[in-house]
Amino acid sequence: MNRVYIKTYGCQMNVRDSEAVAALLRNRGYAIVADEDEADVILLNTCAVRDQAEQKAIGKAGHLARRKRDGGRLMLGVMGCMAQNRGTDLLDRLPDLDLLVGTQKFHRVPDLLDNLFASEKGLGPRPATLVDLDVEEGSQNRIREHSDYKNARQIAAFVSIMQGCNMNCSFCIVPKTRGRERCRPIEEIVDEVRELAASGTREVTLLGQIVTSYGRGVIPGRNGKSPFVQLLEAVSEVDGIERIRFTSPHPRGFKADLVAAYRELPKLMPYVHLPMQSGSNRILRAMNRPYSAERFLQIVEDLRAVVPGMYFSTDIIVGFPGETEADFEQTRALFEAIGFDMAFIFKYSVRSGTRAAEMADQVPQEVKEARNQTLLEILQRHSLSRNRGRCGAVEPVLVEGLARKGEGMYMGRNPGNRKVVFPGTARLVGEIVPVRITDATVSTLLGELVLSGVEDSAGTGGEAISTGRATSAVLPCGTGSR
C-alpha cells in the first residue's frame, strides 16, 4: 500500500481541499500517514495569497527534492493555489516535481498518482512531471469527500459550498487561482450535511471564497431572502447538526436578511468573521472594496443589536501601497472602537498579476512592521479583557477531543468559537456540556464542568444543555489569570 503525506498551507478552504484529497486517496487504496518520513508520496497543498506562504512551500519542496535526489524513494507533488498561480514556471524552480495540480483538479489526484505508479512499474511511459492545471466546468461539485467521517467521527466539519471569486480586490490573487464564482446546488450541500450528521458531526462550517455571494445570479431570491440565507435555513433543518458557522463572507453580503438570520436561526452561532481590510475610505477605494468604514461599523452595530454578545474576527492589511500615517490612524481607531476578539493582521505583500503590485508609493517594510505591531497589541489587550470577562460564566461547549497539553484535559469551543480547555473524559466527545470559566489567556478559556453527573448528559439521562447564547452572570478571574 502506497503511503501519502499531505501538508497544507493557507486557509480553511485549503484544509478542506486536503481533507477531500485524502478521502479520495484512501478510497483508492492509498494510506494517509501523519509522518512525512514514512511517506512514499508527499503532496504540498499550497497558498498564494501572500509571498511568505509561497516561499515556505517552495522551501519545503526544495528540501524534499534534495531528499529525493539523495536516493530516497519519494514522489513529490505541489497542488493548489501556488500551482495554479505560477503554473509550469514553477518547474524552473522545482524541476524534481512529479506532480503539479491546480485548484480545479484536486479530484484528479488519485488518477494521476495511479499513472505515476504504473509508469514506475514499467506499465507506461514515465513523464518528467504530470501537470493538470486546466479549468474544469463543475469542479465545485467534485470535492465533497471527508477524510474521516466514514472511518472516525468528525465532530466539526467543513463543507465547501462554492468555489471562485468575482470581486477583483486590487491586492488579491484569488480570482486568478480559484477562478470565477461557481456554486453547488442547495440540495447537494444539504445531502452532504445529512451524511455528516448521520456519522456524528454536530457542527458544520460552510466554506467559500465569499460565502455570502453564494448562488448570486444563479439561485433566485425568495421572500426577500438571498440564496445564502436560504441555504442557512435549509442546513438548520438537518437533524443532528447543532451548530452552524461560515467563512469567509464579504461586508456587502450583510443585508437585513442575513442580520435577521442570527435572530431567527438558533443553530447559527454568534460569531462573525468580517474582513475589514482597512479603516480608511481612501485605501478601501484603492483596494476596490465596495463599502466604507462607516458602512462597516453599521454592520457591526446591526449584528450586535440582534446578538449583543456577538464575537467578531477580521482581516486587516497594513502597509497597502500609498497608506499614509493618517490612513493607518483611521484603521487603528476603527479597529480599537469595534474591539475585535480575533484578527488576522497581514503586512501587505506584493502579488504579481494584481493591480496593487503596479501601484506607486509602496510602503517600507519597517513601517509595515510597526503598524502590524500596533494592531497586534490592541488585539491582545481586547482579547484578554473579553476572555477574562467570561470568568464565572457557564458556557455551552461542544467537546471536540483531547487538549494538546495536560493529562485528562479536553478541548471544545463555545458558541463564540473560543477554545475552552477543561478536565473531562472521552465519553464527553461530541457532546455539548456546561463549563464554568475559571481562568483565561489571550486565546483560550479554562474551566471546569458544572454538573457532578455531567457524564450522564452524554446520552444516559443527565441534564441537557442547549447551543444557546444566553450566559450567566460573570465573576472576576482569580489571581492566576494571565
SS (HEC) of the chain:
CCEEEEEECCCHHHHHHHHHHHHHHHHCCCEECCCHHHCCEEEEEECCCCHHHHHHHHHHHHHHHHHHHCCCCCEEEEEEHHHHHHHHHHHHHCCCCCEEECCCCHHHHHHHHHHHHHHHCCCCCCCCCEEECCCCCCHHHCCCCCCCCCCCCCCEEEEECEECCCCCCCCCCHHHHHCCCEECCHHHHHHHHHHHHHCCCCEEEEECCCHHHCCCCCCCCECCECHHHHHHHHHHCCCCCCEEEEECCCHHHCCHHHHHHHHHCCCECCEEECCCECCCHHHHHHCCCCCCHHHHHHHHHHHHHHCCCCEEEEEEEECCCCCCHHHHHHHHHHHHHHCCCEEEEEECCCCCCCHHHHCCCCCCHHHHHHHHHHHHHHHHHHHHHHHHCCCCCEEEEEEEEECCCCCCEEEEECCCCCEEEEECCHHHCCCEEEEEEEEECCCEEEEEECCCCHHHHCCCCCCCCCCCCCCCCCCCCCCCCC
pLDDT band at 479; cut points 50, 70, 90: very low
The pLDDT tens digits of the residues spanning 156-215 come to 999 999 989 999 899 998 888 888 899 999 999 999 999 999 999 999 999 999 999 999
> Rounded to 5 degrees, what angle do the CA atoms 206, 211, 215 make?
110
Last residue of a domain, one of 387, 414, 431: 387
Judge if 403 and 472 occupy the same domain.
Answer: yes
Judge if 375 and 403 occupy the same domain.
Answer: no
The pLDDT tens digits of the residues spanning 95-123 come to 989 999 998 888 899 999 998 888 876 55
Last residue of a domain, one of 387, 422, 454: 387
pLDDT band at 455; cut points 50, 70, 90: very low
Last residue of a domain, one of 345, 366, 387: 387
For residue 70, the model assigns a pLDDT of 79
CATH code, domain with 402: 2.40.50.140
Judge if 359 and 215 occupy the same domain.
Answer: yes
Least confident segment among 30-34, 136-140, 406-410: 136-140
Judge if 260 and 330 occupy the same domain.
Answer: yes
Judge if 260 and 376 occupy the same domain.
Answer: yes
For residue 457, the model assigns a pLDDT of 40
CA atoms within 13 A on the CB side of 392: 10
Kindly tell me if the per-residue pLDDT of 126 is higher than 90. no
Judge if 103 and 229 occupy the same domain.
Answer: no
The grid coordinates of residue 124 equal 507506461
For residue 347, the model assigns a pLDDT of 95
Judge if 427 and 361 occupy the same domain.
Answer: no
Q: Count of domains in the chain? A: 3
Kindly tell me if the per-residue pLDDT of 319 is higher than 90. yes
The pLDDT tens digits of the residues spanning 274-306 come to 999 999 999 999 999 999 999 999 999 999 999
The answer to whether the beta carbons of residues 206 and 235 sit under 8 Å apart is: yes
pLDDT band at 462; cut points 50, 70, 90: very low
Kindly tell me if the per-residue pLDDT of 435 is higher than 70. yes
Judge if 194 and 283 occupy the same domain.
Answer: yes
Judge if 217 and 350 occupy the same domain.
Answer: yes
Judge if 248 and 377 occupy the same domain.
Answer: yes
Domain that holds residue 61: 3-132
Residues 111 and 90: their CA atoms lie apart, in Å, by 22
Judge if 305 and 182 occupy the same domain.
Answer: yes
For residue 125, the model assigns a pLDDT of 54
Least confident segment among 52-66, 133-147, 149-163, 228-242: 133-147
Judge if 216 and 125 occupy the same domain.
Answer: no
Question: In the chain, pLDDT over 90 holds for what percent of residues?
Answer: 68
